Amino acid sequence: MSVENDKPVSKSRIERRRLVRVEVNLPGRIFIPADGREARCTIVDMSAAGARIASDLIPNPGAQVVLYIDGFGRFECDAAHVEPGFFGANFRCSPLKQQRVGEQLAIFANKGATETTVLRRHDRTTTKGLASYVCANGDAVACEVLDLSLSGLSLKTEGRPRIGEIVSIGQMTGRVVRYHETGIAIEFVNAFDKGRAESAVPRALASR
């Protein structure tokens, strides 16, 4: 009997965590796939289910938006609650990811903005070197490797493959997850151990 009574309590706690909003004031970037526009933004507050965003680029209500939040990563969203200079974003997340974001927000609330680096899935290693990546259509595009982690790469490049496109660089395969000021960020399709990720970049550079 006590076990049955615990179930709704547990669900209620999970739901409260999902809806709790935390003031974060974090930098980010937004990308609107429908028209290819992108811009910097500031995440004013967020929960595991969504965020309030300040930006000069305001999407139409219901528009699909790709949002990158510093320290929290990439989210696919639907725009909502549009007002001058601000809009709301409802995350398209699995229950597991919502739970993980809720846990990350709890860490953020306890430790503050100075500790946001602990939210990264993997430490990043700065590296420099000329290379090239191959797009889905077979085109090779010149790039410079800016940094890497066990989860992905940051590349300086003039190319802009579409968000979600699978590309390869050397022996690594990844998905384009966002644009930044000088290029693109790639998330590895498969998990890499640290030794393999670090050794793969020199191989990629050598194979150019």
> Which domains, ranges and CATH numbers included, belong to the chain?
2-119 (2.40.10.220), 124-206 (2.40.10.220)
Distance CA 150, CA 198 (A): 8
Q: Identify the top-confidence range among 39-48, 102-111, 128-137.
A: 39-48
What are the E-state strand segments in 160-204? 166-169, 172-180, 183-188
* Average pLDDT of the residues in 75-102: 90
- With cut-offs at 50, 70 and 90, classify the pLDDT of residue 98: confident
Reported pTM: 0.50
* Residue carrying the six token digits 């989860």: 151
Helical spans, DSSP H, in 43-193: 95-111
- With cut-offs at 50, 70 and 90, classify the pLDDT of residue 111: low
* Average pLDDT of the residues in 61-77: 87
pLDDT recorded at residue 27: 87
- With cut-offs at 50, 70 and 90, classify the pLDDT of residue 129: low
- With cut-offs at 50, 70 and 90, classify the pLDDT of residue 190: low
pLDDT recorded at residue 188: 80
* Tens digit of each residue's pLDDT (9 = 90 or more) over 17-53: 456 788 888 888 888 888 888 888 999 999 999 999 9
